[in-house]
Chain A
Amino acid sequence: MKRILTAFVTVAVSYCALCAQAPRPTSHVVGKPGDLTMNVNGDAAGPVAITGGKLLTVTHGVIENGVIVLSGGKIAAVGGPGTAIPKGAQIVDAKGMTVYPGLVDAETNLGLIEIEADLSSNDLVETSDEIMPQMQVAEAFHAETVRIPVARLNGVTNAIVAPASEDSVAGRDAFIQLYGHDRDQMILGRDVALAMNFSGEQRRQARRGNPPKYPSTRMGLATQLRQAFLDAQNYEQTMAHDTEKQNADKKAPPKRDLKLEALLPYLKGEKPVVLGAHEGYEVEVAMELAQEFHLKVILSHVEHSQDVLDKISSYHVPVIVGPIYTAPAPNERYDAVYSLPAQLQKRGVKIAIASYDTQNVRNLPYAAGYAVAYGLPYDEALKAITLNPAEMFGWGDKLGSLDVGKMANVVIANGDPLDVKTDVKQVYIQGIAVSMESRQTKLRDAYMKK
Chain B
Amino acid sequence: MRVTHLRRQALLAALAAFVSIPLAAFSQQPSTAPADIVIKDATVMTASHGTIPHGSVWVHDGKIAGVGTSVNAPASATVIDAAGKYVTPGIVDPHSHSALGDDVNEATSPVTPALMMVDAFDNSDKALYQALAGGVTTELLLHGSANMIGGQAVVIKNKFGLSRDAMLFPNAPRSIKFASGENPKRVYGGRNESPSTRMGNFAVMRQAFEDAKAYTASWDLYNAKVKRGDKDAVAPKRDLKLDALADVLAGKMYVQIHCYRADEFLTEEALAKEYGYKIRAFHHALEMYKVGDKIAPTGTAIATFADWWGYKDEAWDAIPWNAVMSMREGVRVALKSDSNDYIRRLNQEAGKMIHYGGATEEEALQMITINPAWIIGVDDRIGSIDTGKDADLVIWDKDPLSTYARAEKVYIDGDLFFDSAQPGFGTTHFSGPMHEAGFGGADDDGDAQ
A interface residues (Cβ-Cβ under 8 A, vs B): 1, 3-4, 7, 114-118, 146-147, 150, 306-307, 325, 327-328, 330-336, 338-340, 342-343, 358-360, 362-363, 366, 369-370, 372-375, 418-423, 440-441, 443-444, 447-448
Contact = CB atoms under 8 A, between A and B. Distances in A.
Contact of A339 (B312, B324, B448): B448
Interface stretch (B23-31, B87-95, B165-173, B434-442): B434-442
Contacts of A441: 319
Given A1-B328, A366-B348, A420-B352, A117 B320 contact: no
What 8 A-B pairs have minimum CB-CB distances, sorted nearest first? A336-B441, A369-B403, A339-B442, A117-B312, A331-B437, A334-B133, A420-B351, A440-B319
Interface string B288-309: 0110000000000000000111
A336 B307 contact: no
22 contacts: A115-B313, A116-B311, A117-B182, A118-B312, A147-B310, A306-B442, A331-B439, A333-B448, A338-B442, A339-B448, A340-B442, A343-B442, A370-B403, A372-B403, A373-B405, A374-B406, A421-B401, A421-B402, A440-B320, A441-B319, A443-B289, A447-B289
Contacts of A147: 310
A29 to B, nearest CB: 28
B434 A420 contact: no
A306 B445 CA distance: 11
Contacts of A307: 439
Interface stretch (B71-79, B99-107, B202-210, B353-361): B353-361
B289 A444 contact: yes
A116 B439 CA distance: 36
Given A330-B434, A331-B437, A359-B309, A420 B403 contact: yes
Contacts of A366: 348, 403
Contacts of A332: 439, 441
A146 to B, nearest CB: 7
Contact of A335 (B309, B352, B355, B442): B442
Contacts of A117: 182, 311-313
Contacts of A342: 442, 447-448
Contact of A373 (B289, B307, B404): B404
B341 interface: yes
Contacts of B312: 115-118
A441 B441 CA distance: 42
A150 to B, nearest CB: 8
A325 B340 CA distance: 10
Given A327-B340, A375-B442, A440-B321, 17 more contacts: A4-B328, A117-B182, A117-B312, A306-B442, A325-B341, A327-B130, A327-B344, A330-B434, A331-B439, A339-B441, A358-B310, A359-B311, A362-B307, A366-B403, A420-B352, A420-B354, A443-B319
Contact of B448 (A7, A362, A374): A374
Given A421-B401, A421-B402, A334 B129 contact: yes
Interface string B109-136: 0000000000000000011011001100
Given A7-B358, A306-B441, A339-B441, A418 B130 contact: no
A401 to B, nearest CB: 22
B130 A328 contact: yes
B437 A335 contact: no
Contact of A448 (B182, B320, B325): B325
B341 A115 contact: no
Contact of A421 (B127, B341, B354, B444): B354
Contacts of A373: 398, 403-406
A151 B172 CA distance: 41
Nearest to A372: B404
Contacts of A325: 341, 344
Given A117-B182, A333-B426, A366-B403, A3 B321 contact: no
A330 B101 CA distance: 14
Which interface class (under 10, 10 to 19, 20 to 34, 35 or more) fits B? Answer: 35 or more
Contacts of A327: 127, 130, 340-341, 344
A357 B289 CA distance: 26
A396 B134 CA distance: 36
A375 B403 contact: no
B316 interface: yes
B309 A440 contact: yes
Given A325-B341, A421-B354, A444-B289, A333 B398 contact: no
A4 B403 contact: no
Contacts of A375: 442, 447-448
B26 to A, nearest CB: 15
Nearest to B349: A420
Given A331-B434, A370-B345, A418 B324 contact: no
Contacts of B340: 327
A444 B325 contact: yes
A419 B350 CA distance: 12
| A146, A339, A441 pick with most chain B CB within 10 angstroms | A339
Given A335-B133, A369-B403, A343 B351 contact: no
B328 A335 contact: no
A440 B355 CA distance: 15
Nearest to B364: A421
Contacts of A1: 328-329
B325 A447 contact: yes
A306 to B, nearest CB: 5
B282 interface: no
B85 to A, nearest CB: 14
A309 to B, nearest CB: 10
B97 to A, nearest CB: 14
Nearest to A362: B307
| B130, B310, B405 pick with most chain A CB within 10 angstroms | B310
B317 interface: yes
A358 B129 CA distance: 29
| A146, A334, A339, A363 pick with most chain B CB within 10 angstroms | A334
Contacts of B411: none
A330 B127 CA distance: 9
Contacts of B313: 115, 117-118
B425 interface: yes
B443 interface: yes
A327 B129 CA distance: 11
Nearest to B350: A420
A373 B347 CA distance: 13
A444 B319 contact: yes
Contacts of A418: 403
Contacts of A369: 402-404
B403 A333 contact: no
A423 B403 contact: no
B442 A419 contact: no
A238 B344 CA distance: 56
Contacts of A440: 309, 318-321
Contact of B441 (A7, A328, A443, A447): A328
B127 to A, nearest CB: 8
A281 B170 CA distance: 46
A150 B289 CA distance: 18
A322 to B, nearest CB: 12
Given A115-B312, A333-B440, A335-B442, A447 B290 contact: yes
Contact of B404 (A340, A419, A423, A447): A419
Contacts of B402: 369, 419-421
Nearest to B435: A331
Contacts of A114: 310
A330 B404 contact: no
Given A118-B313, A343-B445, A373-B398, A334 B290 contact: no
Contacts of B401: 420-421
A359 B321 CA distance: 15
B405 A146 contact: no
Interface in B413-449: 424-426, 433-434, 437, 439-445, 447-448
Contacts of A115: 310-313, 316
A147 to B, nearest CB: 7
